[in-house]
Structures are given as structure tokens and as C-alpha cells.
Structure 1
């Protein structure tokens, strides 16, 4: 194999041996069942080494930290890095060839699919592999109030600046017995290109009965006069935390001690949970814009009236090429992704980030797709 160098991956043929490791009880430490299973799933029978770098959705940051640690513990000669620049930034780096895969809470647009054909080796282009299912929380900072019940129309009117004070009748009528102040509401939104914004605005567009006048987009905009933009999930959470009367949206794993909203679904109010997030995915079809049968891009149906489902849920993907131009890069990417999709990888993310593990059949499907990824 030829030597390969790229800003996203730095490898040599000598650093990647594709021969099976000759392991035995005499020369290998004992491993518990979970580690042994993870080793088999992530192809640790193949010796890997090198530097694998990716970029993308900040919602995945906590999960990615767990995935990196788990994979590196099984592959001591591999270093995995992740830059949580946001979904838009990750896609830009991927399409520019700077990283071999991107994390994204949103789907590729038509022009980005086309650009991926040029970026990836061959004509197959790129596909989405679901790796992280998580509710998005509507978070707020209101002294003495830990939770609120709100329907989609009210949330839309708050974030578009039509409802400006906390004691507005639309809020008060859904929260009898809650003492609401007359103070102003400060809307905090993602100022960067964000898949979390795309999921949030998609929820508002689908469920608010026309109260949200914009299309779903990674680029959040609002008519609220009292609003603050923040770059990345951490910045949104920090801004809401430091601003009395603020409201925002973020991956639920980052909500911390902030107040959170239970969404109206049918006739009931549903708080976020991993289980409720998984239920909305199970009822959603794949997108009709997907790039072939191996592109697992979901079109989430948020209009359910099933109170066991939480409609403001994101599926975060790893966007990968269907063919890479070098075997070394393909081997690192597919081995890492198999670990991420494995039962062990999903359990690690659930513990670190409170995400919903992928259903077993989805994990198996992802693994079979990864087996088909080729090298030029």
C-alpha cells in the first residue's frame, strides 16, 4: 500500500498491518466479556494505528469523548480527535477533504450531495449513518421554576418574539399554580450553522400550526427584539445559565440544572427522555432524498399524538464516503464506526450523554453497510 497523507488522517502502510494479530492467553492480558465483545465488533483483531480526525455537531461531543476513549482503549496505537465546530462546519471540512467523516444533526442538502461525489473516490458519494439519538431540550432560566408545560404554538411565538414576557396568558394558561414573573424573555439561539437548529425549527414548522413562519434550517433567524446568538451548544447553555429570564434549545444531555419544557403531544405534556426519543424514530420513514439504499437519512415525523414519543428529537449522523481513495483511511474509518454502532459503543454514549441506544436491527444494518465501503 502506498503512503497516505491528509490533514484528517496521517498514516503509513507500515503503520497499518492488515494481518490478524496472533493473540493467546500467554501474551495478552485477560479481558472481561464486554471488552472482548467490543473488540470483536470493532475489528480489533486487525492491528490499526494512526491519527483519525473528524469534525461536526457539538451535540455529539460528550458521546464522541466516550467513543474516542473506548475505541482507543481497544486500539492503543490509534488517536481519534473530534472538533465540535457544529454540523455545518463539519460538513464543510468533510467536503473539503480535511476530515474523512463528519458528525451532523442535519442532512446533506442537494448541492452538498453533489459536492460529496467529487470529494469521495468514485461516483457513489456520501451517506448518512445514524449514530446518536437524543432529545433536544427547550431550556430556560427562571428562578424557582424547574419545568414548564408548553405547546408548539407557544414555543414558536416565544422564539419569534411574539410572546415577550413570562407571565403571558399563553404560558400561564398551560401552567396553573406556577408563579410566573412579569420579566422579559431573552431568546438564546445558535448563531453558527447548526443541525440542532435545523431539528428545532423543523419541529416548530411541523407542529406549530403555522405559528412558525420559517422553513427548517441550520441558520436560525428570529424576529425577537430581545435575543442573543451563541456559537455552539456549550455557549447556548452558558448564555441561558448566566441570563435571568432566558430561554434556548440544546441537546438534552447538556441541560444540567436548567429548567426544561415538557412538550404538548396530543392531550398530554411529555418531558424529554431517551426512551421517548427512540419512540419517535421508530415511527419515522427514511428521507426520499436519500442517496440510495445505504443512506440511512431519516425524515422525522414530529406530528405524532402518541404521548410515549418526544417529537423534538434529533438523529445525529456520521457522514462517510461510500468509497475512499486509500485502504488505510477506509480501514480506520470503518473500524471506528463499527465500534460506535456496536452495543458497547452505544452503551458508552448512553452513559456519557444520556442518548438513546440504536435499535439492534439498525446497528446491524449500519455494520453491513460499513462492510460494503470500498477503497479505490
Structure 2
């Protein structure tokens, strides 16, 4: 064999290796899906997608935790195969997507006020207290409004360091939706926004960033998804609910809040101030956003199979990571909505 033929054979072998099989069926059928969006459900989504990809070597699924606002923008810009948002999508945003979108609630969870205050366990915050902390009206941990609901607790004469999100966030949207629902001043001055102009607060990016800031800064309080606080072993305040009871964040209290929710046909349901004596006051669904039409049939097949896994076997992972498994009635509605995701018909020949 000549040196030229040896080099040609070696180069051909290298090309085959890099292309995952040199024309094999596995390479031909390989599908890659790219998603991006909400940080709120990211730990659960990443677990689902890792498990699914491991069991299906013909599919690679990547998800970037970039915040709900960026997730929605990525869908509008067609730079992802699916997005994710805790703020769902506004009609005006949906109208910007040719062919339309299908929103699919995949899990649910609580937004909690986690805090770092040495020696203070079981903090209780009234509605007056936690709204005014976020409005910048309560600035010390021993403020009378906090002392009033924490008999026997030694609250320090220490400034409150409020941590808020710096990015466009569905967690923020859900949190401000609740605060605006229970307080007219907050509704008028801050409003319901993914990226509001907070009157107070140190800013951090993502649920991950806020969690890290609270963990490393004594005297801090901030809003994050329950699973992040649980994973970081942060203390979480019990919040006064609509019935006037102080409710500790838990899977059970979140399920109590969501028990009476009826899922509408568009699969977008909100609970800004849930009813129920044992209901935790700040809970939400979170959505994966798909296009209603894709040009690649293999992507549609892979996407639907992945989503079906998340809605069935994947739900078993929810509670251990601090999320709420979807009720069976909601799962059936979402699975039926998968039929709305189709392959686009090719255009007429030129």
C-alpha cells in the first residue's frame, strides 16, 4: 500500500468517526433538539432530558436556563426548537410567531421567600410585612410589622438585604402578579412584570443567582422557586394566605392551593391568590412552548415522544426536586394538546 493510499484511508476513517458512523442509519436518524427559557423548572427539566437522552441514543436534547423572557424571545426569533416560561405568553407575543404556538404546562411549583438570618427559624411574614419589604418600606429585621407575627423570636437590629432578579423572569412575573393582587400600591407602583423597576434590592441572575446571593449574604431575603431553597437548605418564611393563616412552603401546601384550579382549553391558568385554609399563597404552573408546525418530521416525532415521557414517567421525579406533579386530569389535557403539534406541508414547487 502506498503512502498516498494509507493517508487517504486514515483520513476517510477520521471523517467517519467524526460523523458518528459514516453513513450509518444511526447518523441518518439522529435528532438534536434545542430548548431555552425559565430557570424556575430548570433542575427538573434537566433531569428529565438527561434521563430521556440516555435512554434514546438517537436523540440529543439541550436546555439552557436563561429566564422566561429570553425563552419567549427565542421562540419568537425561531432560534430554538422549544422554549419555556413561567409567565406563559401574552397574546401579542403569540401573534409574532408564524403558524402559532402550543403552550403545555409541564409541572408546577411555589415561589418562596428564602432568607439568611442566623438563629431565626420559622419566620412568619404577614401580607403587610412581605409586600412592604419588597416596596422598600420595611428595612430592618426588627421592624414592628415583623416582630408582631414572631412572638418569642429574637429578631436582630440588622438591615434587610433584599435580593431580586436582574433578568427577565417568569418567577418575577408570578411573584409580582401575587403582590399586585393583594396590594393596590404595589399594583400601581411596580405592577406585574417579568423585569420590573424594583424600588429596592440587590440584583442577581436566575433562580440560581438569587439562591447563591442569599446563601452567601447574611441578612438577605429573596424570592426563588421552592426546589432551589430546599436544595440549598435555606430557611423559608411562612406567609400569610388569603384565609389569614401562616403557611409553610411544602409540596402539600402547594397542592392544596392548586386543588380547585380548572385548567382552561388554552392550558393557561393562574392562581394569584388561591383560596383554602391550608393553601400556600404563591404557586404557579410553568409551560413548555412549542411551535404548532415544524418542517422536520423527525423533530416532531422526537419532541412529542420526549414530552410524553415528561408527562408520564417523568412526573415521578417532581416531588424529590421540590415540584408538584401534574394532576391526572391536567396530564390528559396536555397529552391531547400534543396533537396540535404537526409537520408543515411543503410549499408549491417553484
Fold shared per TM-score above 0.5? yes
Q: Report the structure number with the largest CA radius of gyration.
A: 2
Following the alignment from structure 2 to structure 1, what is the Cα–Cα distance between the partners of residues 336 and 289? 16
Following the alignment from structure 2 to structure 1, what is the Cα–Cα distance between the partners of residues 199 and 291? 39
CA RMSD after TM alignment? 2.0
Flag the 1:334–1:244 CA change in 2: closer, same or farther, 3 A: same
| Alignment-derived partner of residue 194 in structure 2 | 218
Following the alignment from structure 2 to structure 1, what is the Cα–Cα distance between the partners of residues 183 and 233? 27
| Deviation for aligned residue 1:332 | 1.7
Answering whether residue 259 of structure 2 is matched by residue 278 of structure 1, we say no
Q: Is the 8 A contact 2:164 2:203 kept in 1?
A: yes
| Deviation for aligned residue 1:357 | 0.5
Q: Identify which of 323, 333, 337 aligns with 1:355.
A: 323
Answering whether residue 270 of structure 2 is matched by residue 302 of structure 1, we say no
| Alignment-derived partner of residue 78 in structure 1 | 59
Tell me the number of residue pairs that the alignment of Structure 1 and Structure 2 aligns: 318
Flag the 1:349–1:329 CA change in 2: closer, same or farther, 3 A: same
| Deviation for aligned residue 1:275 | 2.4
| Deviation for aligned residue 1:128 | 1.5
Q: Is the 8 A contact 1:193 1:219 kept in 2?
A: yes
3-state SS of paired residue (2:95): helix
| Alignment-derived partner of residue 231 in structure 1 | 205
Runs (4+) of structure 1 moved beyond 6 Å?
none
| Deviation for aligned residue 1:208 | 3.3
| Alignment-derived partner of residue 62 in structure 1 | 43
Flag the 1:323–1:16 CA change in 2: closer, same or farther, 3 A: farther
Following the alignment from structure 2 to structure 1, what is the Cα–Cα distance between the partners of residues 326 and 157? 43
| Deviation for aligned residue 1:210 | 4.1
Q: Is the 8 A contact 2:210 2:222 kept in 1?
A: yes
3-state SS of paired residue (1:134): strand
Which one has the bigger helix percentage? 2
| Deviation for aligned residue 1:280 | 2.2
Q: Identify which of 242, 248, 253 aligns with 2:222.
A: 248
TM-score by length of 2: 0.86
Q: Is the 8 A contact 2:214 2:221 kept in 1?
A: yes
| Deviation for aligned residue 1:262 | 0.7
Q: Identify which of 287, 311, 314 aligns with 1:345.
A: 314
3-state SS of paired residue (2:308): helix
Answering whether residue 350 of structure 2 is matched by residue 375 of structure 1, we say no
TM-score by length of 1: 0.80
Following the alignment from structure 2 to structure 1, what is the Cα–Cα distance between the partners of residues 308 and 253? 25
1:11-39, Cα deviation, whole Å (9 max, x unpaired): x996699xxxxxxxxxxxxxxxxxxxxxx
Answering whether residue 151 of structure 2 is matched by residue 183 of structure 1, we say no
Following the alignment from structure 1 to structure 2, what is the Cα–Cα distance between the partners of residues 132 and 221? 28
Flag the 1:332–1:282 CA change in 2: closer, same or farther, 3 A: same
| Deviation for aligned residue 1:299 | 2.3
Ranges in structure 1 where 5+ consecutive residues have no aligned partner: 1-11, 18-47, 288-292
| Deviation for aligned residue 1:362 | 1.1
3-state SS of paired residue (2:60): strand
1:79-113, Cα deviation, whole Å (9 max, x unpaired): 11110001111111111111111111112123211
